[in-house]
């Protein structure tokens, strides 16, 4: 357990996004996904980016992860420019990306394997992390044998094993049912309380953003811009009863107004951290 606690005094995970524009698509399909975004995230802060579908929040996450490049502006983490993917900036997808051919334990241990950590040690550390997320006993199952919520927990554990200074989460609970989602949110807060990595959490669920974040950044529809910043002062650890408080409801009303100024807008297709929505190519059978 102590291995996982953040060592005191180290303030890593400072994100500085400065005047970033991101364009996606090629040729005539090229469009501006993000427009002049400037964000500063303090080390250990839990920030939610809230915005309508297709506004570019996943695109921003992708650039932070290092999978996309901005067309203008700079992105820095701890004063170093983000150029390519790195285990220090872990990425959690909405639908898990666990390796189907590896057991749950080996999936979680993967990051350590890439670092060259010997087998016995990395499997033990993976086991400890699985305990933390409540999956003790499921080490030798294959991902396809787990439910959605469990799969997401493994996905998170897999990222955490690298002690990332930044954890990037792309609507990680969006595919889960309401009850599982609530439990996962509570689990995340518990784990984060122990580890205190910087979290950038994408969602379009207002309740979720208000429940989880220190700060909410509201994004406009495409091209995405930050239109408002809302600081949240609900006490931690967050309890579920805040969701029925008056302050919560007021903030929710405010966010709703920001997100749905006119209901005539057609919702745009969802973007991913890897770029524009994938175009299906005609593949001829062998």
Partner 1 sequence: MSALASSVAVVDDVKLPAKRQFNPGKIAIRLLSLAVCVLIWHWASTARVNLGIVAFQNVPTPVDVFHAAWELLHSSVIVSHLKASISRVITGFLAAALAGIALGVLIGRYRVFENTLLPPLEVLRPIPAVAWIPLAILMFPSSEMSMIYITFTGALFPILLNTIHGVEAVDPRLIASARSLGATRTALLLEVVLPAATPGIFTGLTIGMGTAWFCLVTAEMISGQFGIGYYTWMSYTIQNYAEIIVGMLLIGVLGMASSALVRQIGNLLMPWYTLQRKKS
Among 20, 37, 82, 132, binds partner 1 (CB under 8 A): 132
On the CB side of 55, how many CA atoms lie within 13 Å of its CA? 22
Which of 43, 46, 91 lies closest to 64, judged by CA? 91
Phi, psi of 284 (to 5 degrees): -85, 140
C-alpha span between 274 and 66 (Å, rounded): 9
Binding marks (x or -) toward partner 1, 139..168, rule CB under 8 A? Answer: --xxxxxxx-xx--x----xx--x------
User: Considering the rule CB under 8 A, would residue 22 count as an interface residue with partner 1?
Assistant: no
Tokens of 73: 């502006």
What radius of gyration, in Å, describes the C-alpha atoms of the chain? 19
Among 18, 53, 97, 276, binds partner 1 (CB under 8 A): 97
Binding marks (x or -) toward partner 1, 222..261, rule CB under 8 A? Answer: ----------------------------------------
Nearer to partner 1, 17 or 150 (CB): 150
C-alpha span between 143 and 135 (Å, rounded): 12
User: Considering the rule CB under 8 A, would residue 172 count as an interface residue with partner 1?
Assistant: no
User: Considering the rule CB under 8 A, would residue 280 count as an interface residue with partner 1?
Assistant: no
Angle, in degrees to the nearest 10, between helices 148-160 and 178-195: 20
User: Considering the rule CB under 8 A, would residue 134 count as an interface residue with partner 1?
Assistant: yes
Region label for 114, one of left (φ > 0), alpha (ψ between -120 and 50) or beta (otherwise): alpha
Rounded least distance, CB 150 to partner 1, Å: 5
Which of 149, 130, 19 lies closest to 74, judged by CA? 19
User: Considering the rule CB under 8 A, would residue 13 count as an interface residue with partner 1?
Assistant: no
Contact residues toward partner 1 (CB under 8 A) are 65-67, 84-87, 89-91, 93, 95, 97, 99-102, 110-111, 113-115, 131-138, 141-147, 149-150, 153, 158-159, 162, 180, 183-184, 186-187, 190, 272-274, 278, 283, 286
């Amino acid at each position: 357990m102590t291995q996982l606690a953040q060592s005191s005094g180290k303030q890593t995970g400072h994100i500085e996004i400065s005047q970033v524009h991101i364009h996606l698509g090629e040729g005539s399909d090229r469009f501006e996904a993000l427009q002049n975004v400037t964000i500063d995230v303090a080390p250990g802060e839990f920030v939610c980016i809230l915005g309508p579908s297709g506004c570019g929040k996943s695109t921003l996450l992708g650039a932070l992860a290092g999978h996309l490049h901005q067309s203008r502006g700079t992105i820095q983490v701890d004063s170093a420019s983000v150029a390519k993917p790195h285990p220090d900036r872990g990425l959690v997808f909405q639908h898990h990306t666990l390796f189907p051919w590896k057991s749950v334990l080996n999936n979680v241990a993967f990051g350590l394997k890439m670092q060259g950590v010997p087998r016995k040690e990395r499997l033990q550390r993976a086991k400890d992390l699985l305990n933390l997320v409540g999956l003790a006993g499921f080490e030798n199952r294959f991902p396809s044998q787990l439910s959605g919520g469990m799969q997401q927990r493994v996905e998170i554990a897999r990222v955490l094993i690298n002690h990332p200074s930044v954890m990037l989460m792309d609507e990680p609970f969006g595919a889960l049912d309401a009850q599982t989602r609530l439990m996962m949110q509570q689990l995340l807060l518990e784990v984060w309380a122990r580890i205190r990595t910087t979290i950038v959490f994408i969602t379009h669920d207002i309740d979720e953003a208000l429940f989880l974040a220190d700060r909410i950044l509201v994004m406009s529809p495409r091209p995405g811009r930050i239109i408002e910043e809302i600081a949240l002062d609900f006490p931690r650890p967050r309890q579920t009863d805040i969701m029925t408080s008056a302050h919560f409801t007021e903030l929710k009303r405010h966010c709703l107004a920001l997100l749905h100024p006119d209901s005539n807008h057609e919702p745009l297709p969802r973007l991913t951290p890897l770029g524009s929505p994938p175009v299906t190519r005609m593949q001829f059978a062998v």
